[in-house]
């Protein structure tokens, strides 16, 4: 009994990267997966892979920083595949470069806070009324090691937004526990997604490996297995935690 079979699981930001890894694992475990992103061709290729492996999926397209679009996607999911049992609020990223706080632009700040904290808030706001009415649901949000501890080269808007997601997840867990709903967070360290493979030069990847007690960088599958645990009945008495998926890196610096 893995706990996600036959469940409708909306995985935001699953057109690529970590979200695509979560979607593939959940589909392989029998969930009805709802893929999401803005890039239709990337979504189509993840969907084709899932369906070629015998999985079930649908996809929705929209910008999570706009509540009207989030609501339209939620309604499309409910009409197309049924009520949402599991929300993995994964979409996000760092949209301003690291550097001294006074050099962060106003646009970079807003883009990063909206693209992470606001997007997660709006998705929870849309999905929770139905979960509360059904007295059932599981939520997993996505932070980052940047939100777990300070570092002089931290991308500050991203770190602040992710730390906000962690506390919001705990507050939500406290509010919705009596309705039979759990909310937890995962906080990955560097994950070798397609984008990071291209963006981080090989020599820097080697240096990063040395900062991890488990001497390798993470994979989307590492995060997917943590999300599966938190979304399944295996974790039925766990709520309000942030689970570091970090090869031990967060612990030592
Ligand atoms: N990769 C890492 O090392 C790492 C480490 C710690 C935490 N994280 C977190 O893990 C999550 C996934 O990261 P990733 O590396 O897999 O990212 P990624 O490869 O850049 O993919 C990001 C996904 O989110 C979607 N997305 C972003 N902003 C959106 C918006 N406003 N509306 C709708 N969709 C949006 C993208 O959709 P389209 O591309 O289709 O537009 C894409 O599907 C993020 O929250 C990130 O902060 C990543």
User: Could you confirm whether 158 is annotated as catalytic?
Assistant: yes
8-state DSSP, 218 = B
Residue 227 burial class via C-beta count within 10 angstroms: exposed 0-12, middle 13-18, buried 19 and up? buried
Q: Which of 47, 88, 93 to mutate to test the pocket of ligand 1 (most atoms within 8 A of CB)?
A: 93
Residue 98 phi/psi, 5° resolution? -65, 155
233 Cβ inside 6 Å of ligand 1: no
Q: What is the pLDDT of residues 140-196, one digit of tens each?
A: 999 999 999 999 999 999 999 999 999 999 999 999 999 999 999 999 999 999 999
Catalytic residue among 154, 158, 164, 189: 158
Ligand 1 binding pocket includes 37 (Cβ within 6 Å)? yes
pLDDT tens digits for range 18-74:
999 999 999 999 999 999 999 999 999 999 999 999 999 999 999 999 999 999 999
| 10, 34 contact by CB (below 8 A) | yes
Ordered structural domains, the chain, with CATH:
8-247 (3.40.50.720)
CB of 18 shorter than 6 A to ligand 1: yes
Q: Kindly give the distance from the C-alpha atom of residue 36 to the centroid of ligand 1, in angstroms, as a whole number.
A: 11
Check: CB of residue 123 under 8 Å from CB of residue 54: no
Greatest CA separation for the chain = 52
Average predicted confidence (pLDDT) for the chain: 97
């Amino acid at each position: 009994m893995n706990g996600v079979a036959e469940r409708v699981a909306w995985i935001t930001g699953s057109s690529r990267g970590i979200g695509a890894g979560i979607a593939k694992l959940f589909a392989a475990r029998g969930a009805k997966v709802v893929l999401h992103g803005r890039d239709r061709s990337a979504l189509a290729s993840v969907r084709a892979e899932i369906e070629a492996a015998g999985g079930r999926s649908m996809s929705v397209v929209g910008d999570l920083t706009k509540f009207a679009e989030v609501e339209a996607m939620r309604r499309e999911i409910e009409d197309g595949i049924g009520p949402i049992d599991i929300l993995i609020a994964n979409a996000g990223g760092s949209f301003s470069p690291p550097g001294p706080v006074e050099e962060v632009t106003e646009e970079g700040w807003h883009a990063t806070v909206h693209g992470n904290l606001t997007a997660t808030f709006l998705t929870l706001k849309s999905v929770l009324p139905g979960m509360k009415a059904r007295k059932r649901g599981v939520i997993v949000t996505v932070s980052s090691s940047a939100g777990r501890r300070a570092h002089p080269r931290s991308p500050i808007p991203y770190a602040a937004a992710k730390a906000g997601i962690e506390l919001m997840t705990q507050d939500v867990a406290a509010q919705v526990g009596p309705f039979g709903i759990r909310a937890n967070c995962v906080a990955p360290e560097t994950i070798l997604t397609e984008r990071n493979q291209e963006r981080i030069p090989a020599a820097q990847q080697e240096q990063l490996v040395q900062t991890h007690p488990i001497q390798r960088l993470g994979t989307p599958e590492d995060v997917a297995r943590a999300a599966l645990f938190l979304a399944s009945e295996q974790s039925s008495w766990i709520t309000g935690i942030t689970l570091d998926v970090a090869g031990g890196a967060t612990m030592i610096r």
